[in-house]
Amino acid sequence: MTLTTMFKKATRAALLAGLIIAGGRLFAAPGAAASPERSAPAVGARAVVVLDQATGTLLYGKNPDLVIPPASLTKLIALHVVYEEIAAGRLSEDEIVTIDKRDCSPYIPYGSSLMYLRPGMRVSVLDLMRGAAVVSGNDAAFALARRVSGSNEAFAARMNASVRALGLRDLYFVEPSGLSELNRVTARGYAEFCRLYLTLHPQAITELHSLHYIEFPRPEHFTADYHPTGRIIQYNRNNLVLSYPGCDGLKTGYIIESGYNLAATALRGDTRFVIVTLGGTGEGSAGGGTAQRSHDGVALLDWAFASFVTLKPALGALPNPRAWFGASSRVELAPASALAVTLPRSLAASVQARIDAPSALDAPLAAGDRVGEVVYYAKGQVIRRVDLVAADAIPRGNIFVLIRDAFAKFFSRLFGLA
């Protein structure tokens, strides 16, 4: 079983474990971290989620299950599908796409976000991905959708299938750009998606989201009737990437029906947080709404970094239990999710970890079967548990293995060795 498969299986439980949110305040759940000393800041967005990237611990929520159109946050799901196509070998970042007139203005509202594609341009898949991620080009999203699925509608069906495969039930899309108010997400569901996206596609940070700008079009993109002069620089629409220490993604969005939306992530040391704010208010994209969205993002990230930390206490090598009656004699263990813990900074000095796993067990085992766990605790309080699972399937051995192990196990028990 691959790491990706194990991660998908564990996602739902892991992301919803940890801290319970009630009425916008933070309460310690049984076996979860204690409440931090400082309350989360009040923000104007209608729905908010703050979570830790490594562990999925939910640190703060305000109306986390309120359904709101994501606007251009939709493009992150489109990019996820493109990355899936690349991983499957059906697409390459270097592939050149000839731009269809249906993916350009005036077919797309000119006042909306564009990377300014022109019919007949020949543009690489990577440039289109950057156009969608950095400058939120609706034209880039449409061009990618047409290349992958033939139409926006077919691509939206693929987007929905992809998020369902990740266990996310409260995300739904009708097109890939975010222009439609019929797309819908919740802050909780979208934050869960962001965490998965960063885990499954770690290269996206460096090759897409952390870029301060793109240069487009470049001379290789010129057409017979389009020859602009000079360099054309288009800056990242996520102001936090340009200004907040450690912020390297992810996406902003706005349509009238949703208000101002933000998905942001920042890394300091081993600690990475993801924040999602939906339904922000304000007048004018250059002033109130955009400024308030950035202000809320800064306040939430400042609070998260001041209040919490992600740690990876030393564990040593994972055990390899004896597999009685198995085609293999040892079980290789793998963590079902990150071997890390998120906790209030006040508990950081006291955190410890232990491994609970049997020394032997009976085959057969399927890949992903739970075998043991890693337990993180501080001051006598259990903070997090991470399942240890069988990394590979171990079928029953042949008749000679069964007879041999029956005798060996009997005498091990007889002499207190097992």
Render pLDDT for 370-382 as a digit per residue (tens, 0 to 9).
999 999 999 988 9
Question: What SS3 class is residue 401?
Answer: helix
What is 36-309's CATH number?
3.40.710.10
The arrangement of secondary structure in 322-414, i.e. its CATH architecture, is Sandwich (2.60)
Query: Average of pLDDT values for 361-372?
Result: 94
The pLDDT value given to residue 14: 40
pLDDT of 322 over the 50 cut: yes
Which neighbouring-strand residues pair with 322?
A: 330, 360
> In sequence order, what are the residues at sequence separation of 6 or more whose Cβ sits closer than 8 angstroms to the Cβ of residue 19?
26, 27, 28, 29, 32, 33, 57, 58, 59
The pLDDT value given to residue 284: 55
pLDDT of 49 over the 50 cut: yes
Query: Average of pLDDT values for 17-45?
Result: 51
Report the percentage of the chain scoring pLDDT > 90.
Answer: 79
Report the percentage of the chain scoring pLDDT > 70.
Answer: 89
Count of other CB atoms within 10 angstroms of residue 16: 13
Which neighbouring-strand residues pair with 233?
A: 215
131: left (phi over 0), alpha (psi -120 to 50) or beta: alpha
pLDDT bracket for residue 112 (50, 70, 90):
confident
The pLDDT value given to residue 30: 31
pLDDT of 111 over the 90 cut: no
Query: Average of pLDDT values for 341-369?
Result: 94
The pLDDT value given to residue 130: 98
User: And the tokens for 185?
Assistant: 């997400």
pLDDT tens string 146-201 = 999 999 999 999 999 999 999 999 999 999 999 999 999 999 999 999 999 999 99
Domain ranges of the chain: 36-309, 322-414
More confident position, 285 or 276: 276
| 264 closest CA partner among 302, 226, 319, 232 | 302
Helix H or strand E encompassing 143:
helix 138-149
The pLDDT value given to residue 24: 34
The pLDDT value given to residue 176: 98
Count Cα neighbours of 340 within 13 Å in the Cβ-side half-sphere. Answer: 16
The pLDDT value given to residue 311: 95
User: Of the ranges 43-47, 265-269, 313-317, which one carries the lowest mean pLDDT score?
Assistant: 313-317
The pLDDT value given to residue 286: 53
> In sequence order, what are the residues at sequence separation of 6 or more whose Cβ sits closer than 8 angstroms to the Cβ of residue 226?
118, 121, 217
| 116 closest CA partner among 98, 136, 96 | 136
- pLDDT averaged over every residue in the chain: 89
pLDDT of 37 over the 60 cut: no
More confident position, 29 or 347: 347
User: And the tokens for 401?
Assistant: 């293995």
pLDDT bracket for residue 287 (50, 70, 90):
low
pLDDT bracket for residue 418 (50, 70, 90):
low
User: And the tokens for 366?
Assistant: 């399927």
